[in-house]
Amino acid sequence: MSFDYNVLVIDPMTGLPIGACDHHQWFERYIVNTDDFRTLNYALNPSINMRAPINGFDAVQIWIAEEPIQSTDPVYGWQVVVDPNRVEEVDGQNTSFYKIVFNQPVRIVLPLIEVSYITQQPYCMKCSGLGSLNDFKIGSSGTPGHVTQVTKLVQKALKWVLTSQDPFYPPFTCAIKDYVGRKFGLQITETDVQTEVMNALSNMQQVQQAQGTVQTLDPQEILKDIVSVTVTPDPNDPTSLFVSPIISNYSGQTAPIGFTLRTNQ
């Protein structure tokens, strides 16, 4: 079973490869330390606190039982503090680690604590430390910059389609991710995939239209029409589907968004 999104390797406008990973780690699982009932330990290896160093406190987000928890929450409020016991040397440089600590002891059993944060490249699970993925592109100077315009639109659209969990818009999720591990042809069909992609993109359209009333979006970044959504089985691999939607923006441009969905045999 796998869920491949080999997407946006190519910038739709320039035809050039798209650059660097943002090293954003999503929904890592943590548990509360049973000695102090305050500090988070990495669920897959409770002898450590954070799996990877935190790069920027502002991007740290926590969910408990899929509910987002603000750092100021009266019960589950939390802070990020230096982990004095852990400094690791990578590429000749000492890297400090941090840990997340609840302000007050949390003694109830918390079923699922998830943490998202930005880390540093050598610790990134998203790009496996390689540095290249699809959230940023390399500018002409060689330094990573934020994506804009059509590339941003394409990337946003992909996030709507591929991210089935969005705590801030719970009804706007896409079932594509739930298709992982199903049997193609029996439990899911091309039409299911097509329908889900269409739904996700129309949700995005609605949210963007609502956003447009409070903030100015670049016309190139606004989804105008879902031009087409084609779903084709890979002729060489019966478990893979090529999903190729085409969308347009308010600058009269169209852009392809594509990914491969791999199902069970």
Which residues lie near Zn ion (CB under 5 A)? 21, 23, 124, 126-127
CA distance 167 to 78: 19
State the Rg of the chain over Cα: 20
Identify which of residues 3 and 172 has a Cβ nearer to Zn ion in the complex. 3
Q: 234-261 as b/e, with b when 16 or more CB fall inside 10 Å?
A: eeeeebbbebbbbbbbbeebebebbbbb
For residues 173 and 107, give the distance between their C-alpha atoms in angstroms, rounded to a whole number: 32
CB of 60 to Zn ion, least distance (A): 16
- CB nearer Zn ion, residue 76 or residue 136: 136
Give the pairing of strands 237-249 and 223-234: antiparallel
**Which residues, including other chains, have CB under 8 Å from residue 17's CB and lie 6 or more apart?**
9, 10, 11, 132
- Residue 119 Cβ vs Zn ion, minimum distance, rounded to whole Å: 8
CB of 200 to Zn ion, least distance (A): 24
Q: Burial level of 214, CB count in 10 A (0-12/13-18/19+)? A: exposed
Complex with Zn ion: residue 126 or 159, whichever CB lies closer: 126
CB of 207 to Zn ion, least distance (A): 27
The SS3 of residue 231 is: strand
Min. distance of Cβ 29 from Zn ion in angstroms? 19
Nearer to Zn ion, 64 or 124 (CB): 124
Q: How far is the CB of 118 from Zn ion (least distance, A)?
A: 9
Of the two residues 126 and 152, which places its CB atom closer to Zn ion in the complex? 126
Contacts of 50 (CB under 8 A, 6+ apart): 40, 42, 83, 97, 98, 99, 100, 115, 117
Q: How many angstroms separate the CA atoms of 62 and 236, rounded?
A: 42
CA distance 169 to 172: 5
Residue closer to Zn ion, measured from CB, 21 or 243: 21
Q: Residue 28 or 221: which CB sits closer to Zn ion?
A: 28
Q: Find the shortest distance in angstroms from Cβ 59 to Zn ion.
A: 13
